[in-house]
A and B are shown apart, each in its own frame.
Chain A
Amino acid sequence: MSQAKSRPLLDPTIVRRAIVDAFVKLDPRHQVRNPVMFTVFVGSIITTLIILEGLFVGSSANESLWFIAGISAWLWFTVLFANFAEAMAEGRGKAQAEALKATRQHLSAKKLLEPNLVNESKFEFPGLVHQGDATIVAATDLRSGDLVLVETGDQIPGDGEVVAGVASVDESAITGESAPVIRESGGDRSSVTGGTRVLSDWLVIRITANPGESFLDRMIHLVEGAKRQKTPNEIALSILLSGFTIVFLLACATLLPFSIFSVAELKKVEPNTLATPITITILIALLVCLIPTTIGGLLSAIGIAGMDRMIQANVIAMSGRAVEAAGDVNVLLLDKTGTITLGNRQAVEFIPAEGVAVDKLADAAQLASLADETPEGRSIVVLAKEKYGLRGRDVNKLHATFIPFTAQTRMSGVNLDGRRIRKGSIDAVAAHVAQDGSRLPERVTREAERISRLGGTPLVVAEGSHPLGVIYLKDIVKGGIKERFAEMRTMGIKTVMITGDNPLTAAAIAAEAGVDDFLAEATPEAKLKLIRENQAGGQLVAMTGDGTNDAPALAQADVAVAMNSGTQAAKEAGNMVDLDSNPTKLIEVVQIGKQLLMTRGALTTFSIANDVAKYLAIIPAAFATTYPVLNKLNIMGLATANSAILSAVIFNALIIIALIPLALTGVKYRAASAATLLRDNLLIYGVGGIIVPFIGIKAIDLVLYYTGLAG
């Protein structure tokens, strides 16, 4: 998976295979799925038949066979280019799928014969295998509910839940993350994925997926895009494009009788006129130029590329529908810890009590924390060093006794040379000093309250019964997160912070991080209720989650990103899995969804805007013999009737190739309001779409004219 990130846009191996696939996709059964390109396909066949008729039967059309052949060839190219675009998009996914498939080749499993062993707690390990309780079977023979044993060095044969044992597991095959993770029974770390490897110890796993239904299988399936379902928005757009195709089919088909009538009328006045009705070849050329082939040819490539971009971001979307829904999301539920704040609180300030020097407080705080391996404890040592120049001291050399944190005392500290230094929550320290008849000075209580209000955690330090002051532990809001939320707001997306903190603390952090709203003291029920309320108001809600208790909310949310490190239940409930288990990814997911829709819209606009120039190229040329005066509409000054028509057809084919990179990478995305995005994209793809073909067609016409290729 990790190599996916660095894959260039036009990987030579993918290009080579895509060229072959472009021809394979000429199968009518494939073509018929896309009405726009099927129209071109039929046009190519008809023009080919006209050539064959001309070669073997004698031409009924009074135009040169070279011209028909030119048109026909470029129509075939149009079809092939569209096929190529689709094959390119698929190729990128396929390359990834193959890397995944390689990980599960020849997997075998140690299947336990007596599943009730585990339940009866008679489970002794090792020695079990030797007792004949396990047999070696192929991983593909495993069924949901089977129990398997996985030992050091083994690959996990399928998705499942750990029912016994603890092991470190290398999940890099799936996540690209090389650091091993711990998997154990119970809790939120019990889910394992097929294809990953146990690095140490052993696990007994209950398989939860039948062959072909596992996470790896689904992933391969999705990235291959083999049985890709059209997404709702893609279907709606296809309908619109088919509508346009029918309109243009009518406009072109009726042109034949109109033209015959016009010629007949002309012959009444000028019996010797050389005027002839419009030919089938020109009608087909006109039709193909007018129908939205640019977007029609690139539509499926855009969809596949959208899924692919999700995969590049290490997110597996369970369906294209989910990717689309991500673009529509207007409420983001974000867990505070890990998403908005760094996981750990950090000491940022020492606030001494009256009459206590700040250095003394810093010194005591450092001593109390030297042996404290929690991130908070370490941050106190760091602060003392950085701000007060206190070097770290070796606890052992000081002959100090470290007093660890216990649930009873709710304090930790150190005993050293008769000094008893303690640090803990304000309540705990107050109780501690009260034993000696002392109480916390007013300043300490006031500062502790202030810190709470700011969203921080106060730790009170006391030596003996003498309170020294307060350590300010702060929830550190991630750098740049406020700006991202501001971007979200511009795009009309509301951010809601979910936290277990009390409302006071939550409000302070919410204000600092710049989220729009927060849910404090959140329970799974409160989360679910919040989602339902938002949805009832017509909002689309996205969230991340990892625990089993997140599952109901994940199932309810419109876009639910489960962490890969989370439980199987969470992954089942969500419609996306983030392999990096990074909750901030949700923002990226929304952007990828939006970019997908924007790319479709932009290319549709471009495709339709192109038609203006194509009309002005073809109409005068098509009626050159009937109404030479129509040449006044030939504002591009195209050389001859044939070169004009051929240029339009060639432009129409080449523009597909030219836009493949855009379809694969998506249009440039930036956070802005809908009004701004519309204005900018209209300017680029609408106005640009009108202008570009004038230049392109004229340039091709010049080339044809000077090389004499137009005949």
Chain B
Amino acid sequence: MAMLQMVLYLVVLTALVKPLGWYMSRVYQGQPCGLDAVLGWLERGIYALAGTKPDGEMTWRQYAIAVLLLGTLSTLVVYGIQRAQHLLPLNPQSLGAVSPDSSFNTAVSFATNTNWQGYGGETTMSYFTQMLALTVQNFVSAAMGMAVLVAMIRGFTGKQTDKIGDFWVDLTRSTLYILLPLSLILAVVLVSQGVVQTFSPYVTASLIDPAADAEGKPITAQTIAVGPAASQIAIKQLGTNGGGFFNVNSAHPLENPTPVSNFLELISILVIPAALCWTFGEMVGDRRQGWAVYAAMLVLFVPLLALCYWAEQTGNPRLTALGVDQGVSALSSGGNMEGKEVRYGIANSALWATATTAAASGSVNSMHDSFTPLGSLAPMWLMQLGEVIFGGVGSGLYGMLAFAIITVFIAGLMVGRTPEYLGKKIESYEMKMASLVILIPCAVVLIGTAVAVMGPGLEYPGAANSNTGPGKVKSNLNNPGAHGFSEVLYAFSSAGNNNGSAFAGLTANEPFYNTALGLAMWLSRFWLAIPILAIAGSLASKKSVPVTSGTLPTHTPLFVMLLASVVVLVGALTFLPALALGPIVEQLQMISS
């Protein structure tokens, strides 16, 4: 049954690649896509308002400046709204201003499509902030990733030109014709499944079976957080954002109430990154190239999904030793159920954990901190591989294309030619930029983790309290030893690759982590987009070399395996020492004692 669900998932996903990919290629090539007949006036109106010409083109530098400009502006606006939310409308719970460090972290997080959440949504953000700051960014940051990808594809198709398209046009089309309509459909379906969508204040329910709190006082009522969730969840899933409306994200019954909603949300995590592969193939005029990249992603995704599922289903050997039955039975899903929703079981939790970390989504329906060490290694490593296995919308594919450039370079030399990819020669400039794309996330994750464990990320001053006096120094880590190390490593792997999923178990909403992770997210978003655009500009200015039997074929199974190996090798060689001190040693300790 579990197998069947996972296979069904991959089949449905693959079936959607071509239709959606085809539709998006129409949108980006300015061909009629259906919706332009309905929304064309709006698109033209936006250009008129912004003073852009739809056929105007930018050089890669202009494009990069536009990306940076929008990123900076977005960060400032989101920061401002959080700091002033107590003065703004749509705040029925009268939530106060968000702290400066948390606001900075969240602003960067949403502007970079990371959606790392140091805060708890229902206790921190007003409806106004959720909708006008966060949900808007869910669209804009996703569209930005897609725009940069399209610019890079134009680098391959351009012939001796210095133009790679217009950022504002790509951004508008991504939002208007792709993200908005898909989100609208998904939101309506989710509402039909019971996801909440309301502006009313939180609901209070009387408990049928009152409980007592820590001091023995009876608790008779429960406050149930509600809000305009469905609209945000749709784009959070589709735009590989991952920032939940509620703190526990898609484990929350009002975010993800039924098996149908769970399946749809799972599909929407990967559907756009997967379909963009087809768009890429179509736009470069060789669909096999798109399928090859998609295949390379699947080849990496499936074994890690299998590892995660196997590790979780096997459960904890120490519990087995104590006589606990972790086997599958009619009434139990078996395996390691700690931190998982009984509604989803092992298969759907493992599938979500791998999908959300393969794509740079970061939404969760289970707590990765409670996974077995090997089970948590899969999602952690998927992030460390650079978020290129599907990855963020747009950003995942452009990262993968940077890996393809490196692969082509090494493989191309072996066939005795100056390497070329899709007819463009790969020379020192492209190597320099592609190396940066791979180097920066690695550097951010490793240096960030190193700084954190040298002290700054281990303890923080607790808040001062009028009853207990000055704040006590508290530990950031909820767990000692290797697991504590994994918690820090996971946090930086997530932020440093713009994923945003949290391991939990790490107290990150304090000045050090808010600042450090904020910086990590900023660097690995924009310092990657710039070299990618530089590659696009350089490739566009080159001649296109015709394909002969002397050309390295980049659509064959051999190349797919080679590309996958390069991704794995770079990821393994970079992170093996760190992983050895985290999940690997933890797993060995678990099974050996």
* A675 B442 Cβ-Cβ under 8 A: no
Segment with Cβ contacts to A, from B63-71, B141-149, B193-201, B476-484: B476-484
Contacts A251-B446, A258-B450, A269-B481 known; A675 to B416 CB distance under 8 Å? no
Residues of A within 8 Å of B84, CB to CB, are none
Query: Interface majority SS on B: helix, strand, loop or mixed?
Result: helix
A681 to chain B, nearest CB (A): 4
Say yes or no: is A659 at the interface (Cβ < 8 Å to chain B). no
A492 touches B548 (CB 8 A): yes
B residues 439-485 touching A (CB-CB < 8 Å): 439, 442-443, 446-447, 449-451, 453-454, 480-482, 484-485
Cβ–Cβ < 8 Å partners of B423 in chain A? 538
Chain A interface, DSSP helix/strand/loop, else mixed: helix
| Smallest CB gap from A246: residue in B | B439
Q: Is the CB of A601 within 8 A of B450?
A: no
Q: Which residues of B contact A261 (CB under 8 A)?
A: 453-454, 485
Per-residue interface assignment for chain B, residues 417 to 435, with 1 indicating a CB less than 8 Å from any chain A CB and 0 otherwise: 1100001001110111001
Residue of A nearest to B592 (CB): A629
Complex: A598 Cα to B416 Cα, angstroms: 5
**Is A268 located at the chain interface by the 8 A CB criterion?**
yes
The yes or no answer to B399 lying at the interface (CB within 8 A) is no
At the interface, yes or no: B413 with Cβ under 8 Å from chain A?
yes
A630 touches B585 (CB 8 A): yes
Report yes or no: B480 in contact with A239, Cβ–Cβ below 8 A: no
Which chain B residues lie closer than 8 Å to A685 at the CB level? 414
Inter-chain contact A630/B410, CB cutoff 8 Å: no
Q: How far is B210's CA from A319's CA once the two chains are assembled, in angstroms?
A: 87
Interface size class of A (residues with CB under 8 A): 35 or more
Interface assignment of B581: CB less than 8 Å from any CB of chain A: yes
Distance (Å) between the CB of B413 and the closest chain A CB?
3
CB distance from B533 to the nearest CB of A (A): 18
Is A129 close to B, CB under 8 A? Answer: no
A674 x B435 contact (CB < 8 A): no
CB-nearest residue of chain A to B438: A243
| Residue A116 is within 8 A (CB to CB) of chain B in the complex | no
Query: Which residues of chain B come closer than 8 Å to A598, judged between CB atoms?
Result: 413-416
Contact partner of B553 (CB less than 8 A), chosen from A286, A536, A619, A674, is A674
Q: Which residue of A lies closest to B432 (CB)?
A: A239
B558 and A254 contact, CB distance less than 8 A: no
Proximity bits, A242-259, B CB within 8 Å = 1, else 0: 110011101111111111
- Asked if residues A250 and B446 are in contact (CB atoms below 8 Å), the reply is yes
A233 to B409, CA, bound (A): 10
By a CB distance below 8 angstroms, the chain B residues around A669 are 416
Q: How far is the CA of A490 from the CA of B556 in the complex (A)?
A: 18
Contact with A494, one of B418, B430, B548 (Cβ below 8 angstroms) = B548
Given the known interface contacts A675-B558, A682-B558, the answer about A630 and B577 at a Cβ–Cβ threshold of 8 Å is: no
For the complex, what is the distance from the CA of A310 to the CA of B565, rounded to whole Å?
35
Please state if B431 and A251 are interface contacts (CB–CB under 8 Å).
no
Q: Least Cβ distance of A320 to chain B in Å?
A: 13
Residues 511-554 (chain B) with a chain A CB within 8 angstroms: 543-546, 548-553
B580 touches A537 (CB 8 A): no
Closest to A590 in B: B416
Give the distance in Å from the alpha carbon of A162 to the alpha carbon of B438 in the complex: 59
**Which partner residue on chain A sits nearest B561 by CB separation?**
A682
The reply to whether A630 and B442 contact each other, CB–CB distance below 8 Å, is no
Task: State how many residues of chain B have any CB contact under 8 Å with chain A.
Answer: 67
Q: Assuming A236-B409, A258-B453, A681-B414, is B432 touching A491 (CB within 8 A)?
A: no
Task: Kindly supply a per-residue 1/0 record for chain A positions 137-167, scoring 1 wherever the CB is within 8 Å of any chain B CB and 0 otherwise.
Answer: 0000000000000000000000000000000
Kindly list chain B residues whose C-beta atoms are within 8 Å of the C-beta of A327: 416-418
Contact of B549 among A243, A260, A491 (CB under 8 A): A491
Alpha-carbon separation in the docked complex, A507 to B453 (Å): 76
In the bound complex, residues from chain B placing their C-beta under 8 Å from that of A256 are 450
Q: In the complex the two chains form, is B589's CB within 8 Å of A629's CB?
A: yes
What's the least CB distance linking A229 to chain B, in Å?
13
**B406 within 8 Å of A by Cβ?**
yes
Q: Which chain A positions have C-beta within 8 A of B412? A: 601
**A604 touches B (CB below 8 Å):** yes
Q: Which residues of B are found within 8 Å of A242, using beta-carbon distances? A: 435
From 275 to 326 in chain A, residues with beta carbon under 8 angstroms from any chain B beta carbon are 286, 290, 324
A627 touches B439 (CB 8 A): no
- Which residues of B568-583 are within 8 A (CB) of A? 569-570, 572-578, 580-581
Query: Any chain B CB within 8 A of the CB of A122?
Result: no
A40 at the interface (CB under 8 A from B): no
User: Given A240-B431, A627-B581 in contact, is the A597-B413 Cβ separation under 8 Å?
Assistant: yes
Tell me which residues across on chain A come within 8 A of B482, comparing CB atoms.
262, 265, 627
B358, chain A: closest CB distance, angstroms: 22
Counting CB contacts under 8 A, is A633 at the interface?
Answer: yes
Q: Are the C-beta atoms of A674 and B417 separated by less than 8 Å?
A: yes
B548 to chain A, nearest CB (A): 3
Interface centre among A260, A261, A327, A493 (most CB of B within 10 A): A261
Q: Which of B416, B552, B576 contacts A619 (CB 8 A)?
A: B576
Within the assembled complex, what's the spacing in Å between the Cα atoms of A8 and B525? 55
Q: Is A499 an interface residue (CB 8 A)?
A: no
A-B contact pairs, 17 of them (CB 8 A): A240-B431, A243-B436, A246-B439, A250-B446, A251-B442, A328-B418, A330-B548, A330-B550, A491-B550, A538-B544, A594-B416, A605-B410, A612-B572, A674-B552, A677-B416, A678-B415, A685-B414
For the complex of A and B, list the 4 residue pairs with the smallest distance between their C-beta atoms, beginning with the closest: A492-B550, A601-B413, A594-B416, A492-B548
What would 11 more interface pairs be, CB under 8 Å, given A232-B427, A255-B577?
Answer: A233-B427, A237-B413, A243-B438, A254-B447, A269-B481, A330-B548, A492-B549, A604-B410, A608-B569, A629-B589, A633-B580
Q: Which residues of B contact A (CB under 8 A)?
A: 406, 409-418, 423, 426-428, 430-432, 435-436, 438-439, 442-443, 446-447, 449-451, 453-454, 480-482, 484-485, 543-546, 548-553, 556, 558-559, 562, 565, 569-570, 572-578, 580-581, 584-585, 588-589, 592
